[in-house]
Amino acid sequence: MKIVLNKVRIINPDQNLDEQNDILIENGIIRKIGNLNKEDFSNAEVFEFDGKICSPGLFDMHVHLREPGREDTETILTGSNAAAAGGFTGIACMPNTKPAIDSAEVVNFIKSKSENHLVDVFPIGAVSKERKGEHLAPIAELVTAGAVAFSDDGVAVKTASLLRNALEYLKMYNLPLIEHCEDESLAGGAMNEGTVSTMLGLPAIPTIAEDLTVMRDISVAEYVDGKVHIAHISSKNAVQLVREAKAKGLKITAEVTPHHFYLTEEALVSYDSNYKMNPPLRTEEDVKAMIEGLKDGTIDCIASDHAPHSIEEKEAEFIYAPNGILGLETQLGLALSELVHKNHLSLIQLIEKLSVNPRKILNIPIPQIKVGEKANLTIFDPDEIWTVDIKKFKSKTKNSPFDKSLLTGKSVAVINNSKMYYEGDFKKI
Amino acid sequence: MSLKIKHLLGLQDVSKNDIQLILDTATTFREVLERPIKKVPTLKGTTVVNLFYENSTRTRISFELAEKRLSADTLNFSTSTSSAKKGETFKDTVRNIEAMKIDMIVVRHQSAGVPLYLTRISNASIINAGDGRHEHPTQALLDMYSIREKLGKLNGLKVCIVGDIAHSRVALSNIFGLKTMGAELSLCAPPTMIPKNIEQFGVKIYHDINKAVRENDVLNVLRIQLERDAGTTIPSIREYHNYFGITTDVIEKNNKDIIILHPGPINRGVELSSEVADGPYQIILDQVTNGVAIRMAVLYLLGTKNS
Give alpha helix (H) positions in chain B.
Answer: 16-32, 57-69, 83-86, 90-98, 114-121, 137-151, 170-180, 209-215, 226-229, 237-244, 248-254, 274-278, 284-305
CB contact under 8 A, A194 and B134: no
Tell me the residues of chain A between 202 and 231 that have a Cβ less than 8 Å away from chain B.
202-204, 206
SS3 content of chain A, % helix, strand, coil (to 5): 35, 25, 40
- Banded model confidence at residue B232, pLDDT cuts 50, 70, 90: confident
Q: Find the helix packing angle between B137-151 and B57-69, rounded to 10°.
A: 70
Peptide bond before residue B235 is cis, with ω within 30 degrees of 0: no
- Determine contact, residues A382/A342, Cβ cutoff 8 Å: no
Q: In terms of DSSP bridges, do strands A88-93 and A120-123 run parallel, antiparallel, or are they unpaired?
A: parallel
Which of A201, A204, A317 has the CB atom closest to B134's CB atom? A201
| B177 within 8 A of B14, measured Cβ to Cβ | yes
Is the pLDDT at B84 greater than 60, yes or no? no
Of the residues A286, A305, A383, A389, only one is catalytic, namely A305
E-only strand ranges, A246-321: 252-256, 301-302
Termini Cα distance of chain A: 5
Residues of A with Cβ-Cβ distance to B113 under 8 angstroms: 200, 202, 271, 317-318
d(CA A202, CA A319): 8
Q: Binning pLDDT at 50, 70 and 90, where does residue B81 land?
A: low
Residues in Cβ contact with A231 at an 8 Å cutoff, skipping those fewer than 6 apart: A62, A151, A153, A178, A179, A180, A181, A255, A303, A305
Is B80's pLDDT higher than 80?
Answer: no
The interface residues of chain A toward chain B in range 304-323, judged by CB-CB distance below 8 A, are 312, 315-320
Chain CA centroid to CA A267, Å: 23
Does residue A158 carry a pLDDT above 80?
Answer: yes
Q: Do A197 and B133 touch (CB under 8 A)?
A: no
CA-based nearest residue in chain B for residue A201: B134
Contacts 24+ apart (CB under 8 A), A390-393: A390/A326, A393/A82, A393/A85, A393/A326, A393/A329
Using CA atoms, how far residue B185 sits from A373, B188, B206, B284, in Å, is 71, 10, 11, 20
For residue B115, cis peptide bond before it (omega within 30 degrees of 0): no
Please give the Cα distance from B91 to B94 (Å, whole number): 5
Supply the DSSP symbol for A95: S
Please give the order of strands across the beta sheet that includes A120-123: A58-63, A88-93, A120-123
CB of A375 within 8 A of CB of A415? yes
Interchain contact, B197 vs A194, CB within 8 Å: yes
Strands (E), A180-280: 191-192, 204-205, 228-230, 252-256
d(CA B128, CA B172): 13
- The percent of residues above 90 in pLDDT, for chain B, comes to 88
**Which pLDDT band, with edges at 50, 70 and 90, does B228 fall under?**
confident
Kindly give, in sequence order, each residue whose CB lies less than 8 Å from that of residue B154, ignoring residues fewer than 6 positions away: B144, B147, B148, B178, B181, B182, B183
The per-residue pLDDT for B225 is: 82
Nearest to A78 by CA among A376, A397, A399: A397
Helix, strand or coil, per DSSP, at residue A343? coil
Give me the mean pLDDT over the A55-70 stretch.
98
Distances (CA, A) of A295 to A243, A339, A348, B208: 12, 9, 12, 48
Among A200, A272, A274, most B C-beta atoms within 10 A, so best to mutate, is A200
Closest approach of chain B CAs to the CA of A92, in angstroms?
A: 31
Interface test with A, best of B107, B128, B131, B175 (most A CBs within 10 A): B131
Contact B196 A206 (CB under 8 A): yes
**Contact between residue A23 and residue A12 where contact means Cβ atoms under 8 Å apart:** no
ipTM comes to: 0.94
Residue B306 has pLDDT above 80, yes or no: no
The alpha carbon torsion through A293, A299, A301, A304 (nearest 10 deg) reads -80
Buried b (16+ CB within 10 A) or exposed e, A246-276: beeebbbbbbbbbbbbbbbbebbeebbbbbb
Task: Calculate ∠ Cα A74-A76-A81, nearest 5°.
Answer: 85
d(CA A332, CA A304): 10
Task: Report CA torsion sign: A136, A137, A140, A146.
Answer: negative
Mutation for A interface: B135, B197, B200, B205, most A CBs within 10 A: B197
Q: Do A195 and B133 touch (CB under 8 A)?
A: no
Q: What is the pLDDT of residues A107-146, one digit of tens each?
A: 999 999 999 999 999 999 999 999 999 999 999 999 999 9
Query: Which site among A197, A199, A272, A320 would you substitute to test the B interface, given the most B Cβ atoms closer than 10 Å to its Cβ?
Result: A199
Q: What is the pLDDT of residue B307?
A: 52
Residues of A in contact with B110 (CB under 8 A): 317, 319
- CA atoms of A246 and A252, how far apart (whole Å): 6
Beta-bridge partner residues of A253:
A229
3-state secondary structure of A419: strand
DSSP code for A136? B
DSSP at A365: P
Inform me whether the C-beta atom of residue A193 falls under 8 Å from chain B C-beta atoms.
yes
Tell me the per-residue pLDDT of B16-46, one tens digit each, with 9 for 90 and over: 999 999 999 999 999 999 999 999 999 999 9
Distance from CA of B298 to the nearest CA of A (A): 22
Query: Could you tell me if B177 and B11 are in contact, meaning their C-beta atoms sit under 8 angstroms apart?
Result: yes
Q: Is A385 on the interface with B (CB under 8 A)?
A: no
Q: Who has greater pLDDT, A380 or B86?
A: A380
Which residues, other chains included, contact B162 with Cβ-Cβ below 8 Å and sequence gap of 6+? B187, B188, B189, B209, B212, B219, B220, B221, B222, B244, B246, B271
Cross-chain residue pair A317–B117, CB shorter than 8 Å: yes
> pLDDT value at position B230?
74
Bridge partner residues of A11 (DSSP)? A18
Task: Give the predicted TM-score (pTM) of the model.
Answer: 0.95
- Listed in sequence order, the residues at least 6 apart from B177 whose beta carbon sits closer than 8 Å to its beta carbon are B11, B14, B19, B137, B140, B141, B144
With pLDDT > 90 as the criterion, what percentage of chain A qualifies? Answer: 99
Instruction: Report the pLDDT value the prediction gives residue B78, as an integer from 0 to 100.
Output: 86
Phi/psi of residue B47, nearest 5 degrees: -110, 125
At residue A409, the 3 state secondary structure works out as strand
pLDDT of residue B57: 87
Distance between CA atoms of residues A300 and B267, nearest Å: 55
According to the model, what pLDDT value does residue B145 have?
Answer: 98
pLDDT at res. A33: 97
Chain B residues near residue A320 by CB distance under 8 angstroms: 82, 84, 111
H or E stretch covering B260: strand B259-261
Which amino acid is present at A218?
I
Query: What's the alpha-carbon Rg for chain B, to the nearest Å?
Result: 19
With 0-12 / 13-18 / 19 or more C-beta atoms within 10 angstroms meaning exposed / middle / buried, residue B33 is middle
Contact B196 A200 (CB under 8 A): no
Instruction: Report the SS3 class of residue B187.
Output: strand
Average pLDDT over residues B158-183: 97
The answer to whether A19 and A10 have CB atoms below 8 angstroms apart is: yes
Number of H helices, E strands in chain A: 14, 19
pLDDT of B82 reads 53
Q: What percent of chain B has pLDDT over 70?
A: 97
Active site residue A305: yes
8 Å CB contact of A316 and B89:
yes
Rounded CA separation B201/B172 (Å): 9
From its phi and psi, is residue B152 left (phi > 0), alpha (psi between -120 and 50) or beta?
left
Residues in A closer than 8 angstroms to B89, CB to CB, are 312, 315-316
Residue type, B278: D
Residues in chain B: 307
For residue range A68-118, list pLDDT tens digits in order: 999 999 999 999 999 999 999 999 999 999 999 999 999 999 999 999 999
